[in-house]
A and B are shown apart, each in its own frame.
Chain A
């Protein structure tokens, strides 16, 4: 069960990852975020950007309605 959910299926680059980044920032360390996304761009870039920012990709699944479900674990390194 995720700690938060976000739907970026209506967003376009760069707002796709901006929304995810802000959502991850708002979660405590170790919390899980479920992202509903759609299209090739976010499918490729959102998991990659999340990993580059130090977060963990737990799963990425295609759904029957043509969207995908990405599950991320937030990691916030000590300042």
Chain B
């Protein structure tokens, strides 16, 4: 059940057919854990928090890149404080491992996978991000937030997917697979 201030704050999202009141409640109930830091990761956190998704693993003092003119996260949105286990992990920096529902940000794009996806396939897909050209951090970060929101709403799931920046545009590519799944390479 949404509070009145949440109905007012998220009204425009509630209007979206794929969200509605029940979807907005899901976004509020499914925090995201953030591992590592990057400009694109900070943008993703800003979009997530603005949409009502709580985050953990980031500074609460507003030190995100370009975020809300330095307004602390919890002041910007009281729903930003994570008070329950995360449903997904956003890997925003290099060298971080994660399991479950995962979105991995690279310089050239992002990969994401559902909780039952093969971790080796996910790593293989993430390695492919290095082949592309660096993407704009705002484009990449906002896309990562959108992917996480779609995962929270149950609109995307399953095997690893890759979105890469190439020739000035985003492309959805077939994800490389690990040796255990050669039929999908």
Contacts and interface: CB of A to CB of B under 8 A. Distances in A.
B15 A18 contact: yes
B20 interface: yes
Interface of A is mostly: helix
For the complex of A and B, list the 4 residue pairs with the smallest distance between their C-beta atoms, beginning with the closest.
A18-B11, A22-B21, A25-B21, A18-B14
Chain A, interface residues (CB within 8 Å), range: 10 to 19
A22 B14 contact: yes
A14 interface: yes
A14 B21 contact: no
Main secondary structure of the interface of B (DSSP, over half): helix
Interface in A25-79: 25-26, 49, 52-53
B159 to A, nearest CB: 21
Nearest to B154: A79
A14 B11 CA distance: 7
A1 to B, nearest CB: 25
B21 A21 contact: yes
Contacts of A52: 17
A4 interface: no
